[in-house]
Structures are given as C-alpha cells and as structure tokens.
Structure 1
Amino acid sequence: MRDDAAFVKELRDELSQVCWLAPEEIRARGEWRSRRVLLLTFAVVLVMVSGAGVVVVARHLLPSGPTAVTGPTLLAEPQSRLDDGPLAGDLTWPLAEPDSGEIPAQALLQPADLPTGVGEHLTELGLGETVEVNPMLEACRQERGLPSQAVSSQLSRSQTLLGTGPAPDLLLMQDVYRVAPQTATRFFTDLDIRMAPCTSWRSVGDVEIDGRPYQAAAVHRFTVSARDFAGDGSVLLRHTMTAPTDQSDGRQLGPPDRTDSVVVRVGDLVTVLRLGPESTEKELRRLAGLAAQRMCVAARPTC
C-alpha cells in the first residue's frame, strides 16, 4: 500500500505542474482545425460520389448554407493529423530538435513570401500521411479499379495562409512531406505512371442542386504543363474540368474550371503548393522557386 500511495502522490505532483489549455483556447484550436477542412475544398467544393462515379458540381465557393451530399467528400481532413501550430495571429514558430527528422517551420514558405498581407497562419504536423498531389486523380484511379499507388510519407508539415478581414480569402495551402530517399528519386516518374490512365476521365454521379436531383457528367483531364523549373525536380500539374451537364437534357449545371498545383522535390522532401482561385501561374511558379530554397534547411542531403 505504501508503494501505491507513493505512486499516487508522485502522479498528483506531476499533474499539478501540467499547463492545461484554457477552455477558450481549446475552442479556438478546434475552430481552426474545422476551418482547414473547409479550406481544403478550394479546389473542389462539392464532390459527389454515386457508386463508382464522381462528378464535381461546384468549385471555388464555400457553401453559404446546408448542402445536400449523396456521398462522402474526398477531401476530408486525415484524422491522424495533430495540431502543432500557432493560433490565429501568432506567427511564432518553434525550431525542430536537431537530427529529429521533423520538418521545421523554416522549411515552409513564409508569410513575407506572399505579395499580400497574411491574417491567419495555420499549421499541422503529420506522421505517415499519404502524399496528396490531387484528390481527383486518386478518384479517377479508384473509379477505374486501379490501385492507388499513393506514396506514404515519414513525416509531414502543412500550412494554410489566409488573408485579412472578416471573411479572409485563401492565399496558400502547402504540404511538405519527408519520404524515403529511394521514393524521392523516382517520385516524378511514378507520378507520370499514376497519371497516364487519367489523361481524360469522364465522371458521372447523382447530385442535388437547389433541392433538385440531377445525374451530371463532366470530363476531367490531368496534364503536366511545365517541368524541372525548381528544386531537384518539379511539375506544374493542371487539372481541367468541362462544364458539368445534366445527363437527361445536356443542360449545363455549372461552369468549366481549371486548377493548377505545383509539386517540387528537394532531396527527400516533396512539397505540394496550391494557391487561391485568383492566383496566376506566374505567381505559382515564383513561389515554387522560393519553396525549393526554403526546403534546403531540412532536406537530406542538404542543398
């Protein structure tokens, strides 16, 4: 009993030294985590799944009210991600422990790299996450019964930069992944192989717009519009989608769209960059070059 009592006393003494988060801080962290889930939909706001078919029916606009969804979204936030970042307005970052393999904040693009002011800076750490280049590419492979062939990372760090104002615009989303060295060296070759069956993909699915059900179709295309312009290797991946149309009468249900993203490798680090809907290809390529420079501080081997 004396040993048990001593253990309880030691546990009580240690717990008394723990700095517990205040309720308002817990709520704030939960709120920004939920916001990142929504912001991930800047490329695809509403993805409907019907059987094996997938169709995008709206893009770039966050829904202002309840939206009927007939299937799961493809951009759900991974549950394994842990909050390790500053709250809104706090741009102070901790350094990684030497030789820990962790990706420090200094390896990511910084607010000063953007041409416009940053109001909020959100970040997360991940362990064993899948390198997500484009979720619709994975949807295409799944619909065609192909294996995912997605790459798993060892560690990752993600950030979302928002503008200022009461309804801030999305400025940047960036994921940086540390992958196995042999995976890094063949990453872009494997990406070309994964894209090959999806250069043109027609998706069909049941959707609901303004309370009315439709069966809609759209054609997605994935192309590499530029290569090797940053780091040890890079691609500018372009995803275009034709206007979704009603299968019954061919009526257009939404506009066509195009989304550009950049993938850059430096050593064993791979980053994926996506900008807000008002960005340009020129700005995306500029930031890709800066991202490659930033990753040098954590890449193996170093630059």
Structure 2
Amino acid sequence: MPEQLPSGAGAGAGLADQVGRETATVRWLAPEEIRARGRRRNRIRAVVGTVAVVAVVAVGSVVTVGRYGPPPSPVAAPQPANFPAPATSPPDRVEIPLSALLQPEEVGPGLVVDRVEVRPDEAVQVIDPTVPLGCSGYATRTRYTGLARMTRRHTVQQPPAVPGDPLSGAAVVHEEVFRLGPDAARQVFADARAVPDLCAEYVSAGAIEIDGERLAVAAVHRWRMLAEGFAGDESVLLDWQTTIRRQDDSTVVDGPASRLVGVVRVADLVARVDRADESADPERGRALVRAAAARLCTAANPRC
C-alpha cells in the first residue's frame, strides 16, 4: 500500500505555512529549461562516470566497521509480585517515512516523486563518490566509513515522458536521508562541511563523446561555500562547478556548469538535497534546505 502524507491542521499546517513562506517568491524554471540543463549535465557527468563506479566499489569494501548503536541490553531479571516495573523510554525510530523528505509541491508545480529507494544498513555517501578520486585532500581525510541504519532516497522530477520509465522524466531535485547514531551523524556532516576547504579546485581526467567523436578531456572542479548554519542543527549550501576542457589543446568543451548541494543535519538524520536541474540560485537552494530540515524534524530522534 503506498504511504500517505499527513494532512489537516496542527503540526502539518505549521509545516505547510513555513514551506509556503519559503517558496512564495521563487521563480520556477520552465520545463524546457529544466530538460535542456539536464541534457547538458548528463554530458558533463560522463567525464567522471566511470570513476564513480570504482568509488562505489571502494566504499563498499570498507563499510564493515563503524556499526551503529549500543550493544544489546541484558535481559531484565523478573520483578517480584506487585512490584512496579521500572519506567522505560520508547525505542528510537529507525524507519524513515515518505513524509520526512521533500514533497513535489515544495519544489515546483506539476512535479512528481519517483525513483524511490528505502534500504537498511547501507554505506553513507553524502558527497559524490567521484570527489575523493580527484581531490587528494578529501581522499586522505579520516572520514566516517560505517553504515546508515536506514537510507531513503527519491527524486522530485517532471512526469515521465515514457509511461513506466522514471528516467524519461527530467530530474529537478534528488534527496537522500540517512539515519545514523548521533555521533555518526555529526561526523558525516563534518565530512561534507570539509569539502569546500579541501577541494577548492582539482582536476579529473576522462573521456567524453560529442557528435560521435570520443575526446580525451580534463574536468576542472571547484567547490565553494555559499551558506552555513541556516537550517536544522547544522547545514551548508555548497556550489560545485565543473568546466570540461580538451586535453590536447585546453579548449573548453562544456561549462562551467554549476550544481548546488545542500547538506543538513537534524539530530540523528542527515539529508543531502541535490539540485539536479543546475539551478544556481542560492536563495532557492537555502529555501529547499530549510524545507527539508522542517520535514526531518518530524522523524528525528529526538523530534524537534
């Protein structure tokens, strides 16, 4: 049975009011502009697509340590008759409901949620797995290598152009939410916060196909901080710019293309909000991260 979003007054109305205030003055991108930017971004990401697969395999090989959570509690001894049992705290929630992620109406009109995944015990990848391969400072940083207790991800996108094929709809926002132990959540956020300091500029080599011709290219990546501490317990808004040049004569093939990545922590939850449509509007980026933080509040341990 599909999950239902909460509706009605009270906390739900308060959240809707907050999101409405955040997005009331936003200029929405036209569908054709989103599709054009998506095609351009696909060309740019081709330069590092191969190494992205390698990075995922590398991460998967080291996530057998750093497990979350305390050891199991010993079985309690039986209580004497008529002796009250000690009070216990309710167990922490592990699941991440649909309502804890951004909804289509908070991103733009006419959009839908698709490409949904919910997985337990998964490696945490808040920062793109290609970054450590090109950025030596981040590669040598001691980073969190444990598992998320639960991961939920989905894409807010244009309706699929081909029925039944989610990838035929232009993506606008990808969001991933990871549930971790409190200390692990802080470490994961700190890892993301370190990227603009360690990876201000680096180069990755690869190949790209244009009009049937395969070219050896070098992608110049630049990360910078746009905003910090504006949502949740901790938050950053990062700008990732990529320019692709031919290796033989340094001619610019494409770019610079800008991609906004927001990371926010609320208690034991960390969310990544990725503007897949390349909308380089910092105000809009901050508004989406604030809306994402408000959503996380309802599912965090403890609640906001």
Question: Is the contact between residue 46 and residue 73 of structure 1 (CA under 8 Å) also seen in structure 2?
Answer: no
**2:122 match: secondary structure:** coil
Aligned CA RMSD, in angstroms, stands at: 3.3
1:31-70 map, 5 Å? 45=43, 47=45, 55=47
**Between 257-266 and 168-177, the greater mean CA deviation after superposition:** 168-177
Q: Which runs of 5+ in 2 are unaligned?
A: 1-37, 61-90, 162-167
C-alpha deviation, 1:46, in angstroms: 5.5
Q: State how far apart, in whole Å, the 2-side matches of 1:271 and 1:213 are.
A: 37
Question: Is the contact between residue 130 and residue 150 of structure 1 (CA under 8 Å) also seen in structure 2?
Answer: no
- Corresponding position of 2:103: 110
Q: Per the alignment, do residues 77 and 173 of structure 1 end up closer, same or farther by CA in structure 2, a change over 3 Å counting?
A: farther
Greater relative contact order (Cα < 8 A, sep 6+)? 2
Question: Is the contact between residue 231 and residue 293 of structure 2 (CA under 8 Å) also seen in structure 1?
Answer: yes
C-alpha deviation, 1:141, in angstroms: 4.0
Say whether 1:130 aligns with 2:123. Answer: yes
Q: State how far apart, in whole Å, the 1-side matches of 2:136 and 2:216 are.
A: 20
Question: Is the contact between residue 236 and residue 262 of structure 1 (CA under 8 Å) also seen in structure 2?
Answer: yes
Q: State how far apart, in whole Å, the 1-side matches of 2:139 and 2:275 are.
A: 31
| Residue identity matched to 1:298 | A
- Corresponding position of 2:133: 139
> Normalising to structure 1: TM-score of the pair?
0.63
Q: Per the alignment, do residues 203 and 240 of structure 1 end up closer, same or farther by CA in structure 2, a change over 3 Å counting?
A: same
C-alpha deviation, 1:286, in angstroms: 1.1
**2:191 match: secondary structure:** helix
| Residue identity matched to 1:176 | V
C-alpha deviation, 1:45, in angstroms: 4.8
Q: State how far apart, in whole Å, the 1-side matches of 2:209 and 2:108 are.
A: 38
**1:254 match: secondary structure:** strand
Q: Which runs of 5+ in 1 are unaligned?
A: 1-39, 49-54, 57-68, 81-97
Q: Per the alignment, do residues 162 and 213 of structure 1 end up closer, same or farther by CA in structure 2, a change over 3 Å counting?
A: closer
C-alpha deviation, 1:123, in angstroms: 1.6
Q: Per the alignment, do residues 234 and 206 of structure 1 end up closer, same or farther by CA in structure 2, a change over 3 Å counting?
A: same
- Corresponding position of 2:77: none
- Corresponding position of 2:259: 259
| Residue identity matched to 2:273 | L
- Corresponding position of 1:293: 294
Q: Per the alignment, do residues 213 and 186 of structure 1 end up closer, same or farther by CA in structure 2, a change over 3 Å counting?
A: closer
C-alpha deviation, 1:184, in angstroms: 2.0
> Normalising to structure 2: TM-score of the pair?
0.63
Question: Is the contact between residue 219 and residue 241 of structure 1 (CA under 8 Å) also seen in structure 2?
Answer: yes
**2:108 match: secondary structure:** coil
Q: State how far apart, in whole Å, the 1-side matches of 2:263 and 2:39 are.
A: 18
